[in-house]
Amino acid sequence: MYRRMALAAAALLVCAGCGSDEAGNPPDYGKLPPPPPPVIPAQPAEFWSKVPQDPNQRTEVAQATRQVDVCALLPRDTLAKLGEVKSVTVGLDSCRAIIGSDTAGEGSTLTWHATLLSSQSTSGRGVTSQIGAASVRTVPDRDTGEPRACGATARFPSSAAFYLGLSTPGKNPCTVADELMPGMIERWLQSPKQGTSPDTAPTVLLGADPCTVRGKLAGAVPGDEQRLTQCLFDYRGEKITVSYEYRVPEYLAANSTEDKIDGRTVHRSVSVYDSSIPIYTAAVGPELPAESTAFGRRIPVVEVVAATDDVAKDVMAQALTLFPQR
pLDDT of residue 104: 60
pLDDT of residue 19: 39
Confirm if 235 and 285 have CB atoms less than 8 A apart.
no
pLDDT of residue 213: 97
- Name, in order, each residue with C-beta under 8 angstroms of 215's C-beta and a sequence gap of 6 or more: none
**pLDDT tens track for 124-138:** 889 999 999 999 999
pLDDT of residue 13: 31
CA distance 127 to 264: 51
Predicted TM-score (pTM) of the model is 0.86
Q: Which residues of the chain have pLDDT under 50?
A: 1-24, 26-27, 29-30, 32
CA distance 214 to 235: 9
**pLDDT tens track for 64-98:** 999 999 999 999 999 999 999 999 999 999 999 99
